[in-house]
Structure 1
Amino acid sequence: MQILDNEKEQRIIPLFRLAFRPFFLGASIFSAISMTVWALFWSGTADFSLLMYGNPIWWHSHEMLIGFTCAIIIGFLLTAVQNWTGNPGIRGGKLAVIFLCWLAARIGLLLGTPNMIWMIIDLIWIPLAAYFLAKPIVQRKQWNNLFFAPLLLVLTYLNAKLHLISLGVTFGAEQYDLRSTTLTIVTVISIIVLVVGGRVIPFFTWRGTNTEQITRITAIELLAMLPSWLLVLNVLLPVPQAINQVSLPTLFILTGFTHLIRFVRWRSFLTFKIPLLWSLHVAYIFMIIGMFMLGLHFMCADISYSVALHFITVGGIGGMILAMIARVSLGHSGRPLQVGRWVVCAFIAIILSALARTVMILLLPSLAINGYVISATLWVIAFSIFSVLYFPVLTQPRLDGRPG
């Protein structure tokens, strides 16, 4: 690491020494609060609709994808880029500015009503993060990692589109625009998760199980990535409807199938006694199943769109986030890669949250509202456990005294 003044680095508030610290902690606490509000809204115990930007469905979709998931992704990428390039990651005042922009937008969208000011505030933090991500990558000419920066700009564009929908500045039916934009965001985020997961899960599994290295076979990697990136292009570009009716379900199914081929080589059967590993594997299989289900939905509509989407968002993305932040927070704070029973309970809670939001509703559609409340409550339990247990990990200096 090119850190020249360790004493100066140690004077930085621990919370802002690397991006994973404020964003993992802040996003986790925020998601627990948000899902509490969501559960209370569906339970009918009180009218919370005025708290949620005047549009609960829009707010839930936006905040769980942009406010929560993108914050975790940015915390991860701005931390990982330090390992990729050897350049110090963003920290101190610059990191605090990005985080405070994120926080201000979250408060505004929870307590306020649709307003251009909140839109502007919420459109600042992701491009800033993209700049600080791209800068060391370009300096080191690590072009294979540069694609993450334009993907963050794509998410900024989609974030702006969601805000325009909330402000009524859009064409066509609002519900259709919200649904299609949400699907696009979920697809882009899913591919980011699959790409990152495909890089780290085999490595973590190899190291964690002390077995032979899991090599990345070029042909299989290309086979998985080709339909993945074609799927991103399909949801981003104005594909004619006649073509889209065939291409969209086909690409979802192909993406799921090719990632399944990739996944079966990762020795999942060896991870059952290692929570930091099996949690990653379970989340990845949720992603794959969700891809198949979305493909089948767009092909024949026999599977609920909402159920298929939440297989990916709750079980896949939510599960992957919880597993990754639990591991990354330990590793980057100089702690052993071991978790106790409470974190295992959190992993189980997020899996049950996904099943309550999907399988329970499939089997018992008359209890859909109950499923929403149960799923949200289990999510709150999972991320509350993380927030409480990892608060000292993320707000105190590394155990080994190193920067970061």
Structure 2
Amino acid sequence: MTAARHKVISRPGAQPAKPESGLPFLSIGFRPLFLCAAAFAPLALVYFIYTFAHGSTSWPSRFSAVDWHRHEMIFGYAMAIIAGFLFTAVKNWTSQPTPKGAWLAAIAGIWIVGRVAVLFSASMPALEAMILDLLFPLAVAFGIAIPLIKAKNKRNVFFIVLLLLLAVANGLTWLGQSDLGIAIALNIVLMMIIIIGGRVIAMFTERPLGLMLKRHPKVDVIVLVTSLAAFLLEIATHLYDGLPRPIIGTAFLFAATANAWRFSSWETLKTGKHALIWVLHAGYAWLIVGLAFKAAHFLGADISFSIATHALTSGAIGVMTLGFISRVALGHTGRPLVAGTDMAVAFWLINLAAFCRVFGMWLLPEGSRTFYTLAAAFWCLAFVFFLYRYTPYLLSPRADESPRSKST
């Protein structure tokens, strides 16, 4: 599978990168953490489906199979990608080092130990398993706090707070409040997509297409306020009984409308020939669909909470994260920002997985088993394509290191 031949997209005046010291794999956070997440995503799903389909009298986790699946897709898969992104982005934002070398290896090891602890928690003391799992978001928060504080980068300090809130949410799942913890964590991840997507999708769209998209700061504020209000109201349903469902549904409707308003200015129809761009647009479109489905659910429409949630998880999070890590890994390993045919196929597969899991199971519930199987197969294949293409990139030195520096 060779990369398609397209015009190379690069920054004007870019200089050859300085050589990476030590192991390239441990030179920056996205390398080990994106690889861990991409390998974990299909393995965890296959294990869950096999266990769920066949049953098991010796399930090794304190969490039920469904709760384990929900927990690990957020606190395992999504958290690893968030950590890899933040270690990379904070380094760029602050010009300060983020964890690398032995420190980064230790953090990646903590993530792996956490996954093992969750899976085999039934045979471990509960407190010990919980601590092993909670160490990762705390380590990531500490890893970005140092450079942010040194650089006095107040604009992005809120990411530390979000990581600490994710740790609290994770702790709630261990304390018998799984629904509440998952709701908090999922909505935090979605807020990160809304914030980061708002910052970068327009920028990523402009450069290769030669566009100058209009910015609407007031719309961005409306997006943040309406989205946060909807998420907080949903979380509140796990704390207080009797909250009026029409109010929650209306809040989600406002959030969906505001995000669609922002999305409408991004010239999505012009991105079709650029897979690394349209996949990000597709991920944001799934976010809008998920918010609209949540609105419909709370307003009484025949859309289950599970269907609406999977539009946000399999759709928004799944599509956005695969597209994002693909672009970040290319740009930060000094390679052309071109997806190639294999990754374009992977992007279609991850969208098909979400389509089967959401629309297939909603519109044709009698075929749920078939659509569930197809969704899982498409999801796994998408990450197999990513691993095939990107594992060598993540393990090897940057492609744009200057020849002189390599020889000295």
Q: Secondary structure at the match of 1:94?
A: helix
| 1:304-353 Cα shifts (integer Å, max 9, x gaps) | 11111001101110000000011000000000001211111110111111
Equivalence for 1:339: 339
Counterpart in the other structure of 1:188: 188
**Are 1:197 and 2:197 matched, yes or no?**
yes
**Map of 2:11 onto structure 1:** none
| Contact map agreement 2:170 2:182 (CA 8 A) in 1 | no
1:214 Cα offset (Å): 1.9
Distance 1:290 1:49, change over 3 A: farther
SS of equivalent to 1:272? coil
CA distance in 2, matches of 1:56, 1:105: 17
Hey, what's the Cα distance between the residues in 1 that align with 2:149 and 2:260? 33
Q: Judging changes above 3 Å, is the alpha-carbon distance between structure 1 residues 226 and 49 closer, same or farther for their aligned structure 2 residues?
A: farther
Show the counterpart of 2:353.
353
Take 2:216 and 2:272, find their aligned partners in 1: how far apart are those partners? 25
What does residue 310 of structure 2 align with?
310
Structure 2 residue 140 is the aligned partner of structure 1 residue 129:
yes
Q: What is the deviation of 1:216? A: 2.3
Q: Which residue of 2 aligns with 1:39?
A: 49
Closer, same or farther: CA 139–216 of 1 in aligned 2, 3 Å: farther
3-state SS of 1:358 partner: helix
Give the direction of change, closer, same or farther, for the CA distance of 1:240–1:58 in structure 2 (3 Å limit): closer
Distance 1:47 1:378, change over 3 A: farther
The answer to whether the Cα contact below 8 Å between 2:172 and 2:180 also exists between their aligned partners in 1 is no
Q: Is the 8 A contact 1:41 1:48 kept in 2?
A: no
Structure 1 residue identity aligned to 2:251: L
CA distance in 1, matches of 2:275, 2:62: 38
For residue 90 of structure 2, what is the aligned residue in structure 1?
81
Deviations 1:14-38 (A, max 9, x none): 1111110011001110111111212
Aligned to 1:30: 40
* Aligned equivalents of 2:57, 2:79: Cα separation in 1: 24
| TM-score for the superposition, normalised by structure 1 | 0.89
What's the CA shift for 1:247? Answer: 4.0
Task: Measure how far apart 1:83 and its partner are.
Answer: 1.3
Measured in 2, the distance between the counterparts of 1:235 and 1:243 equals 9
Could you say which residue in structure 2 is the equivalent of 1:65? Answer: 74
Measured in 1, the distance between the counterparts of 2:367 and 2:102 equals: 48
Q: State the match for 1:139 in structure 2.
A: 150
**1:73 Cα deviation from its structure 2 partner:** 0.9
Distance 2:61 2:241 in 1: 33
Indicate the SS of the match to 2:258: helix
Report the alpha carbon displacement of residue 39 of structure 1 after superposing the two structures with TM: 2.9
Q: For 2:59, what is the secondary structure of its paired residue?
A: helix
CA distance in 2, matches of 1:138, 1:214: 33
Question: Is the aligned partner of 1:216 residue 2:185?
Answer: no
Equivalent-residue separation in structure 2 for 1:150 and 1:379 (angstroms):
31
Query: 4+ residue stretches of structure 1 with deviation over 6 A?
Result: none
Q: Match for residue 367 of structure 2?
A: 367
Is the 8 Å Cα contact of residues 14 and 395 (structure 1) preserved in structure 2? Answer: yes
Aligned to 1:92: 101
Is 1:225 aligned to 2:235, yes or no? no
1:262 aligns with 2:262: yes
User: Partner of 1:88: helix, strand, or coil?
Assistant: coil
Per the alignment, residue 116 of structure 2 pairs with 107
CA distance in 2, matches of 1:256, 1:79: 30
RMSD: 2.2
Deviations 1:202-254 (A, max 9, x none): 0000012112x224221111111111233344355687544453443222221
* Partners of 2:61 and 2:392 in 1: CA distance: 30
Deviation of the 1:185 alpha carbon: 1.9
User: Do 1:39 and 1:372's aligned partners in 2 also have CA atoms closer than 8 Å?
Assistant: no
- The reply to whether residue 179 of structure 1 matches residue 179 of structure 2 is yes
User: Which range moves more in the overlay, 140-149 or 266-275?
Assistant: 140-149
Specify the code of the residue in structure 1 equivalent to 2:26. F
Where in structure 2 are there 5+ consecutive unaligned residues? 1-16
Mapped to 2, the partners of 1:65 and 1:244 lie a distance apart of: 28
Q: How many residue pairs get matched?
A: 384
Query: Kindly tell me: are residues 191 and 48 of structure 1, through their superposed partners in 2, closer, same or farther at Cα, counting changes over 3 Å?
Result: farther
> Is 1:400 aligned to 2:365, yes or no?
no
Q: Judging changes above 3 Å, is the alpha-carbon distance between structure 1 residues 208 and 337 closer, same or farther for their aligned structure 2 residues? A: same
* Runs of 5+ consecutive residues of structure 1 not aligned to the other structure: 1-5, 166-176
